[in-house]
Amino acid sequence: MKDFPYSESKDTRSGFGAGLQELGKTNPNVVALCADLVGSLKMDAFIKDNPERFFQVGIAEANMMGLAAGLTIGGKIPFTGTFANFSTGRVYDQIRQSIAYSQKNVKICASHAGLTLGEDGATHQILEDIGMMKMLPHMTVINPCDYNQTKAATIAIADHEGPVYLRFGRPVVPVFTPADQEFIIGKAVVLNEGTDVSIFATGHLVWKAILAGKLLAEKGINAEIINIHTIKPLDAEAILNSVRKTRCVVTAEEHQLNGGLGDSVAQLLAREEPLPLEMVGVNDSFGESGTPDQLMEKYGLNEAAIVAAVEKVMARRK
Amino acid sequence: MTQPIAPAPPISLEPKSVPQLKQIAAQVRRDIVRMVHAVSSGHPGGSLGCTDLLVALYFKVMKHNPEFSMDGIGEDLFFLSNGHISATLYSVLARSGYFPVSELNTFRKLDSRLQGHPTTAEHLPGIRIASGSLGQGLSVATGAAQAKKLNNDDRTVYVLMGDGELEEGQVWEAALYAPHHKVDNLIAIVDRNGQQIDGPTEKIGGLGDLRAKFEAFGWQVLEADGNQFETLLPALEEAKSLLGNGKPVMFLMDTQMGFGVDYMMGTHKWHGTAPNDEQLEKALQQLLVEEASDY
Query: Is the pLDDT score of B292 beyond 70?
Result: no
Contact A80, B156 (CB under 8 A): no
Of the candidates A31, A63, A104, the beta carbon closest to that of B174 is on A63
Q: Do A63 and B177 touch (CB under 8 A)?
A: yes
Nearest CA in chain A to B147: A71
Percent of chain B beyond pLDDT 70?
98
Nearest CA in chain B to A62: B170
Q: 3-state DSSP call for residue B40?
A: coil
Q: Do A31 and B144 touch (CB under 8 A)?
A: no
- Specify the pLDDT at position B293: 56
> pLDDT tens digits, residue range B191-227?
999 999 999 999 999 999 999 999 999 999 999 999 9
Q: By the CB < 8 Å criterion, does A55 face chain B?
A: yes
- pLDDT tens digits in sequence order for chain A, 318 residues long: 999 999 999 999 999 999 999 999 999 999 999 999 999 999 999 999 999 999 999 999 999 999 999 999 999 999 999 999 999 999 999 999 999 999 999 999 999 999 999 999 999 999 999 999 999 999 999 999 999 999 999 999 999 999 999 999 999 999 999 999 999 999 999 999 999 999 999 999 999 999 999 999 999 999 999 999 999 999 999 999 999 999 999 999 999 999 999 999 999 999 999 999 999 999 999 999 999 999 999 999 999 999 999 999 999 998
pLDDT range class, residue B295, cuts 50, 70, 90 = very low
- Taking the C-alpha atoms of residue B225 and residue B255, their distance in angstroms, rounded to an integer, is 6
Q: By the CB < 8 Å criterion, does A91 face chain B?
A: no
Domains parsed from chain A with CATH numbers: 9-174 (3.40.50.970), 189-316 (3.40.50.920)
> Considering chain B, what is the average pLDDT of its residues?
95
Query: Is the pLDDT score of B181 beyond 90?
Result: yes
DSSP assignment letter at A170: S
* Least Cα separation, residue A271 to chain B (angstroms): 29
> pLDDT tens digits, residue range A75-121?
999 999 999 999 999 999 999 999 999 999 999 999 999 999 999 99
Q: By the CB < 8 Å criterion, does A138 face chain B?
A: no
Q: By the CB < 8 Å criterion, does A29 face chain B?
A: no
- Taking the C-alpha atoms of residue B232 and residue B214, their distance in angstroms, rounded to an integer, is 20
Q: 3-state DSSP call for residue B127?
A: coil
Q: Do A71 and B144 touch (CB under 8 A)?
A: yes
Q: Residue range B115-130: average pLDDT?
A: 97
- The interface predicted TM-score of the complex, written ipTM, equals 0.96
The residues, any chain, with a CB within 8 Å of residue A198's CB and separated by 6 or more, are: A223, A224, A226, A239, A242, A243, A245, A246, A248, A249, A250
* Least Cα separation, residue A77 to chain B (angstroms): 10
- Specify the pLDDT at position B75: 98
Domains parsed from chain B with CATH numbers: 18-293 (3.40.50.970)
Of the candidates A60, A66, A76, the beta carbon closest to that of B150 is on A76
